[in-house]
A = this chain, B = another copy of it.
């Protein structure tokens, strides 16, 4: 006679992702209690012991993890922080973000993390429709940014990876032509720039290059209907988005050729929750719920994250997709914080203020970032008012303006248009520093 357990296996032969999630979640909690000082302390403070976490239902009892905590943890125990749960010897790669204050935050991965990432990156490509015979030109940065890990995924899928990087548009175009490449990875703003570049320098219409697919990321622009329509009509190809998070994984969501939002491709590695960013409550499930995306890793070694607040505002779609994939889809519709995204690079107003502050006492440190567009996506050059101290000569002012611009480019990777304004001319606010001013 069959045991109850065996019966269950025979009667429900299908693998349920919820079962996998439940098992891995328990293993991850074990791992965290063993290896992460940060979470041991955090759980202790919240009065949570190991035995309080028995099923996936207990997840909602656990406290959120905030990016600020990760930063503070890295400041307290540099470089990786007390939340990091792997020995340096087992870490095979370290990525860094631009950080909010010019000081980067680091994300390490072990060999297992690397495998999980690579598998998810390959799935993202497959979901887009990329196959072994696809030729993929990669025109995004291949450096410290976490997105450069896409290399591994494209190669694991077995497509042809043609790395170019940034700042070599001629080579991008030439590679597309020479290999009759069908796929281009880039930021949405680069897609627009490159269309002009092709027209101007090659006397060709971009659509003549024959691209079939552009996978855009690094900026949310690819999700804006008007941006997408423009790119698609210029290039006569499909534009698809992929989305991830520098702390969790380069990509977790990927659009299929139906282009109705990004499918979640990481259910065996990450649990998603959608919460009300104000109350922290889980948003009641519905076909088109909206809220902040929250991640919990369930098999992460170096950077375990429990209920990590992404600050990404998303709209979730759980209706069936014509492509046949059953996973839910989402679109990113904004941010819950004041982060700006300039040509694919995350920049916080506080980081800009920090850079300006480093020029005290020549400046008072007061700034105002002028936003011509609705954030987070803004285009350089970014107009920036900087208050100068009284008594600077004209020559000193000229030098200061140049130096601030150079420092912003060097530390935060964007071009600013600095206008110096006299001491005291920027209004002060009692409660909270006001760093931005809307022009739109």
A residues within 8 Å of B by Cβ?
A: 78-79, 88-89, 91-96, 103-104, 106, 108, 111, 114, 132-133, 135, 141-144, 148, 151, 155, 158-165, 168, 170-171, 174-175, 178-179, 410-411
Instruction: Kindly identify which residue among B111, B151, B155, B171 contacts A158, using a CB–CB cutoff of 8 Å.
Output: B111
A93→B160 contact, CB < 8 A: yes
Q: How far is the CB of A210 from chain B (nearest CB, A)?
A: 14
A163→B95 contact, CB < 8 A: yes
B175→A96 contact, CB < 8 A: yes
Number of copies: 2
Task: Tell me the nearest residue of chain B to A133, going by C-beta.
Answer: B89
B160→A144 contact, CB < 8 A: no
A170 to chain B: which residues have CB within 8 Å?
410-411
A144 vs B142: C-alpha distance in the bound complex, in angstroms? 10
B88→A178 contact, CB < 8 A: no
B163→A108 contact, CB < 8 A: no
A159 vs B111: C-alpha distance in the bound complex, in angstroms? 10
A93 to chain B: which residues have CB within 8 Å?
155, 160-163
A133 to chain B: which residues have CB within 8 Å?
88-89
A144 to chain B: which residues have CB within 8 Å?
162-165, 168, 171
A57 vs B186: C-alpha distance in the bound complex, in angstroms? 50
A104 vs B411: C-alpha distance in the bound complex, in angstroms? 32
Q: How far is the CB of A10 from chain B (nearest CB, A)?
A: 38
A172 vs B132: C-alpha distance in the bound complex, in angstroms? 36
A133 vs B155: C-alpha distance in the bound complex, in angstroms? 26
A103 to chain B: which residues have CB within 8 Å?
174
A144 vs B166: C-alpha distance in the bound complex, in angstroms? 10
Q: How far is the CB of A165 from chain B (nearest CB, A)?
A: 3
Q: How far is the CB of A433 from chain B (nearest CB, A)?
A: 25
Could you list some 7 contacts between A and B, CB below 8 A? Answer: A88-B133, A89-B132, A92-B161, A93-B160, A142-B163, A144-B163, A148-B163
A144 vs B164: C-alpha distance in the bound complex, in angstroms? 5
Q: How far is the CB of A408 from chain B (nearest CB, A)?
A: 12
Given contacts A88-B133, A179-B79, contact A143 B168 (CB under 8 A): yes
A171 to chain B: which residues have CB within 8 Å?
96, 104, 144
A78 vs B175: C-alpha distance in the bound complex, in angstroms? 11
Q: How far is the CB of A31 from chain B (nearest CB, A)?
A: 20
A168 to chain B: which residues have CB within 8 Å?
143-144
Q: How far is the CB of A148 from chain B (nearest CB, A)?
A: 7
Instruction: Kindly identify which residue among B104, B160, B161, B165 contacts A88, using a CB–CB cutoff of 8 Å.
Output: B160
Given contacts A88-B135, A171-B104, contact A165 B178 (CB under 8 A): no
